[in-house]
Amino acid sequence: MASMEAHDSSKLVGSAAEALGDVRPGMSVMVGGFAVIHGWPNTLLRALAGRGAGDLTVIANNLGFGAHSPQVLAERRLVAKFVGSFAGFVGRPTPSEQQILAGEMACELVPQGTFVERIRAGGAGIAAFYTPTGIGTVAEKPEKERRDFGGRPHLLETALRADLALLRAQVADAAGNVAFEGAQRNFQAAMATAADRVVVEVERVVPVGELAPDAIHLPGIFVDAVVREEIPRAEVMAEVMALGRDPTRGGGRAAAGGAAPAARAPQPGVTRELMALRAARLIAERGYRYVNLGIGLPTLVGEWLDKVGSHAVLQAENGLLGYVSTTDLEAWDPNYYNAGGQPVAPLPGSATFDSALAFTMARGGHLDAVVLGAFQVSARGDLANWKLPGVGAGGIGGAMDLIAGGSPVIAVMEHTTRDGEPRLVEACTYPLTGLRCVTTIVTNMAVIEVGAGGLVLREVAPGVTPAEVVAATGCALAVPEGVREMEL
């Protein structure tokens, strides 16, 4: 019987430098991976930087930080344009962000779900598609066609393709068949279909036939070259940790401005942990089953779900359904992490998949609730949560797609800014994430519902009066009879 290896045994290449021998200036390059220490093709990135080919367009979720991330390209000023969802990190300046802010690197921020869908369309030979994501936000650019379907506005988005894709996986065979592990698939499966040349860096190479057909996540038809990793994962993680990153605190992917966040002044009402507890109780009380937790404060909600009797199954947009957080870094498998890059452990019955399917769950209305942080929420439920004006290059993230499916949105936020300015306002002045999407607001001072006529106070935190909540709110707030104390 003929072997697949006999037909295609040349995909295993001796080195990353050899695999990238035909790289030239001006190419577009997709780079797989989701968060800072998870999934970068470190060996291939180093080899690409060593080629010295400039004027590159880099298409990636973010550019990370440190010597093992795509920042190695920005450090050598090889990147002319970045296309992705996060251009900066809280409290951590990077060469790419500095170049973007200086006008030396073009930047196209794309909502995360739209980002992967544009790549998937490029790989499928689909020139463009309509999406409800981004209506009323910076994603709705004047040049984009807007059209109603079923009475709902949609934007026309065009496909993304690249000359080259650099990916990382757990294992491959010489025929180019690839198996990922955990949440490694993220954007990589789509990227493999949308590039003219695809090179995959793997930890292990196995003989053809060792991977069972149903264990192959990326068929060899999409892969041009396979190289073995030359930089062990343990070395990468050790160096990133040495930079001062605590993986239990998440990736910090948001607007930065280069400075560390200022210390929070004491706030009235309850702590951030108790805000998360109240949100967890809401999830339990309403029987929400499938829930996405946004990065930042919302991740704390997951710590309370079991304690309040919720049976919610957590979903993450990097491709994971059914997980719990973990602080046991010695036992942690770094292929499992949430959307903030924090360590998690899969639960019995959990599932992994790629980001295209993850955002299908969100945009398709399959989630029961989404919990997001917020900089501002308007009187009608508009949400602003991805960028402070004039601060950093910004990180548009996945929230625009998470809310596009119409699932209830719980905003967990501090009631006022550090300067005492209201975050609940008549109209948002910060860049919008979505229109009329927030249904419930949990702050350190109150629980508030967004009704047809505006905001309605339902609960006040211990030690806080309804009058104090009204005074701290920058828009009309209805106070019905029987406002109770927040249940904790």
Which residues are catalytically annotated?
317
- Whose structure tokens read 């860096």? 201
Q: What is the DSSP string of 375-434?
A: SEEETT--EE-S--TTSSS-B--SHHHHTTT---EEEE--SB-TTS-BSEESS--SPPSB
Residue 86: helix, strand or coil by DSSP? strand
Cα distance between residue 117 and residue 111, in whole Å: 10
Cα distance between residue 194 and residue 191, in whole Å: 5
Whether the CB-CB separation of 62 and 84 falls below 8 Å is answered with yes
Whether the CB-CB separation of 109 and 87 falls below 8 Å is answered with yes
CA pseudo-torsion sign 311, 317, 321, 326: negative
Q: What is the dihedral of CA 84, 86, 92, 95, to 10 degrees?
A: 20
Cα distance between residue 212 and residue 106, in whole Å: 43
β-bridge mates for residue 37, sequence order: none
Give the DSSP H or E segment for 195: strand 195-206
Whether the CB-CB separation of 73 and 58 falls below 8 Å is answered with yes
Whether the CB-CB separation of 103 and 82 falls below 8 Å is answered with no
- Whose structure tokens read 């393709």? 161
Whether the CB-CB separation of 279 and 410 falls below 8 Å is answered with yes
Cα distance between residue 145 and residue 148, in whole Å: 10
